Structure 1
Amino acid sequence: MEELATENSVQESLANRYKLINNKTSNDPFQKAYDFDSIDLMRQANCYAYYQTIDQNEGPEAIVNGKTCTMLGSNNYLGLTIEPRVRQAAIDAIAQFGTSLTGSRLLNGTHALHEKLEEELAKFLNKEAALVFTTGYQANIGITTALVGKNDYLILDKFNHASITDGADLAKGKTVYYQHNDMNDLERVLQSIPEEHGKVIMVDGVFSMEGDLADLPNINRLAKKYSARLVVDDAHGVGVIGEAGRGTANYFGLEDDVDLIAGTFSKALASIGGFVAGDRKVIESIKHFGRSILFSASLPPASVAAALESLRIMQQEPQRVDRLNKNAQYMREQLRTRGFNIGHTETPIIPIIVGEDIKALTLWRELLKEGVYVNAVIYPAVARNQALLRTSYTSEHSREQLDRALEILQKMKNSYQF
């Protein structure tokens, strides 16, 4: 009863936390931080699911607090973080070029490795040129701050990644949203924008929480109809879908229609950093006017070398992408058959929708006890009462690991009725 009472207090605190932060009146701007008790309560109830220390993460398994778990919470889609060739490429780059370039790409931080990676990325994505950023987040900031001016409109899916919405806040143009993957609503928004204004539709290729695909064929059709540019953030698409992992535009046969493809090296490509690929003149403009590339230190040689080697392996071994999608298809089929609500996912990101925030946090805790690591996602990362367990899969998961995870998930479903 004591733990239940604590969980009830956590639920109440979670329900009130944003009201408290946004409406509290005080002459001390820090007071809202001192009054915010949800994190302390979650820790007391042993259901604080964030900033967990993972001692070791070896692809399909991880060691968390000394315990080996089946890892269903990473974006290591192709298992390349544990690939010896990728690790050796990073080691060799440190030995030859050092640990940092200590400056921005603009001034003293551009290395031959950056240029080689950009060249191979552009060729891989069938674009004229590419540009490498220090993070994927910064790639989207660079695009919007360079290209969206005061007379332009940026048109966003409501479920887009935070890096896109933050980029919109930093851009000088106007931002409008349409309902998630709702083409009627997108057309309504496009119709409302005066013809003389520039228009950029920017959308996730694969939505990072829901695992569903953007309706790219119809988005492209509407972009053409209303003379809008189309930008796809393919952070969870490159390495996951399309020929040899070429991403969402390739999957739909729209590489020539999508104006810019952005992405990250921190998922399938086993490193850190981001990129954008497109027409050479547009990339040159982003290179010289994107605030995030002008005012950030450049990606260090080891990270560039790891991403470059991962890109090469992905092309040499397309069977990794095939294994990934076979594992994902198996889990989608099994979870649906067992009555789990997994939404409209079509990818290795498979959400298990459970409802209340506290239920997601409690399930996270109980799954970890049983040796399965997932991610608990609560409001505002998802809509109210749509809290979920975000599971994701890799090419390296064995059928035995997946079946064991299914057994434990089924046990939790029976116990917690979701």
Structure 2
Amino acid sequence: MADWNSLYEELENLKKEGRYRPLTVWDSGSDTWMTLNGRRVLQMSSNNYLGLTGHPGLKEAAIAAIREYGAGSGSVRTITGTLRIHDELERELAAFKGTEAALVFQSGFTANQGVLASILGPDDVVISDELNHASIIDGIRLTKSDRKIYAHKDMDQLEAILKQSGGYKKRVIVTDGVFSMDGDIAPLPAIVELAEAYDAFVYVDDAHASGVLGTNGKGTTDHFGLNGRVHIQIGTLSKAVGVVGGYVACEQVLKNYLIHKARPFLFSTSQTPAVAASCLAAVRVLRQSGELIAKLWDNAAYFRAGVQALGFDTGASETPIIPVIIGNPAKTMRFSDLLLEEGVFAQGIVYPTVAMDKGRVRFIVTAGHTRADLDFALNALERASRKLGE
């Protein structure tokens, strides 16, 4: 008789290594302060960079869409699931990103899977930064193309690979815009220059740059003034945008191709009308988000300086993602637990998400945090550090 003994054993090993973590169930919606088991704690791990999850305009748009269109879309996009609200969202995204077109997926993860698996064939090569997100890695695994990995942000190695890869039909360089574990920014100008020199495509996943970098949060392409020189921009509607979903901003020909080839798009029911409408409202809010983004970056600089003043290693962080590098997985998770005792939720992240000796408690600062909130977190860090060393 079949049993699950191997799964039990693996879970027990995770517990022994201090890497087992059950789901945390929250009693309130995403915000700077949230309720956990009846207790209010400061949230320092949310991707809600601009605080849009509770924006009244987004909530009102969702309610209005339910009243007009109903609770669901009823179908995949290619049958009866493309409602007027979906078309409006894609047109607005394309205008916002400054591209010919945009195509929305159910998540940023499925966007990467759908696009990479569709555009890469056995005669192509994909060249990927070693620290790219899991969704990029999984998307590449779905292809039959050759794969080359370059050391993190190592442009010399990237150029060497390009020089050695002249016989392929397509060469696609793939990078995160902002790397989610370390909070550093891709050297996109150098990548674009190499791509143009060696006739390669540039593919940027801006999940943690959408709503964070560039004019009104347009992303790394705009941040570096590279509009028109990046072929494929992946964005998320799930982080700074405050709702859920992903998209590709691209030329119209690629959108038309993906509509016919991208399996997550073809075989998934489209976004609910409420989701599409609230995403559309969020993009319109982003167009007026200059003050919010300025506050986000001011908060990030203040908190990072405070963490470093306490003697912590924040790695390569240069964005609102601020890791506190601890190292050992068990010690990392213990530090996260101590912070929660102090009233701060900051998630510990350990192997295999990061290297075994690079466990970290990852803080994410938002525009919603006040200076008092950030000082509260810094004081909690200091107290938890003392307890960890006892």
TM-score between both structures, scaled by the size of structure 1: 0.90
Alignment of 1:60-71 (within 5 A): 60-71=32-43
Q: 1:13-63 CA deviation, whole Å, 9 max, x = no partner?
A: xxxxxxxxxxxxxx96944213223378479x8x85441101113421111
Contact 1:101 1:297 in 2 (8 A): yes
Alignment of 1:132-151 (within 5 A): 132-151=104-123
Cα distance in 2 between the residues matched to 1:96 and 1:71: 35
Is residue 165 of structure 2 the alignment partner of residue 193 of structure 1? yes
Is residue 101 of structure 2 the alignment partner of residue 129 of structure 1? yes
Of stretches 228-237 and 178-187 in structure 1, the one that deviates more from structure 2 is 178-187
Cα distance in 1 between the residues matched to 2:328 and 2:274: 42
Equivalent pairs counted in the alignment come to 390
Match of 2:285 in 1: 313
Q: 1:396-417 CA deviation, whole Å, 9 max, x = no partner?
A: 1010010010011012223325
Q: 1:310-331 CA deviation, whole Å, 9 max, x = no partner?
A: 1111112321111111111111
Q: Which of 231, 235, 247 is equivalent to 1:259? A: 231
User: Helix, strand or coil for the counterpart of 2:89?
Assistant: helix
Is residue 210 of structure 2 the alignment partner of residue 210 of structure 1? no
Is residue 361 of structure 2 the alignment partner of residue 361 of structure 1? no
Q: Percent identity?
A: 38
Distance 1:158 1:40, change over 3 A: closer
Alignment of 1:77-156 (within 5 A): 77-156=49-128
Match of 2:200 in 1: 228
Match of 1:3 in 2: none
Contact 1:74 1:392 in 2 (8 A): yes
Match of 1:17 in 2: none
Of stretches 86-95 and 398-407 in structure 1, the one that deviates more from structure 2 is 86-95
User: Helix, strand or coil for the counterpart of 1:341?
Assistant: coil
User: Helix, strand or coil for the counterpart of 2:374?
Assistant: helix
Is residue 7 of structure 2 the alignment partner of residue 33 of structure 1? yes
Paired AA for residue 307 in structure 1: C
Contact 1:230 1:260 in 2 (8 A): yes
Cα distance in 2 between the residues matched to 1:187 and 1:40: 39
Which consecutive unaligned segments of at least 5 residues does structure 1 have? Answer: 1-26
Q: Which of 321, 332, 339 is equivalent to 1:349? A: 321
Match of 1:391 in 2: 363
User: Helix, strand or coil for the counterpart of 2:175?
Assistant: strand
Of stretches 47-56 and 199-208 in structure 1, the one that deviates more from structure 2 is 47-56
Is residue 200 of structure 2 the alignment partner of residue 238 of structure 1? no
Contact 1:48 1:361 in 2 (8 A): no
Match of 1:21 in 2: none
Contact 1:49 1:375 in 2 (8 A): no
TM-score between both structures, scaled by the size of structure 2: 0.96
User: Helix, strand or coil for the counterpart of 2:28?
Assistant: strand
RMSD: 1.9
Cα distance in 2 between the residues matched to 1:70 and 1:128: 41
User: Helix, strand or coil for the counterpart of 2:285?
Assistant: helix
Distance 1:162 1:41, change over 3 A: closer
Match of 1:303 in 2: 275
Cα distance in 2 between the residues matched to 1:144 and 1:40: 32
Q: Which of 370, 375, 381 is equivalent to 1:403? A: 375
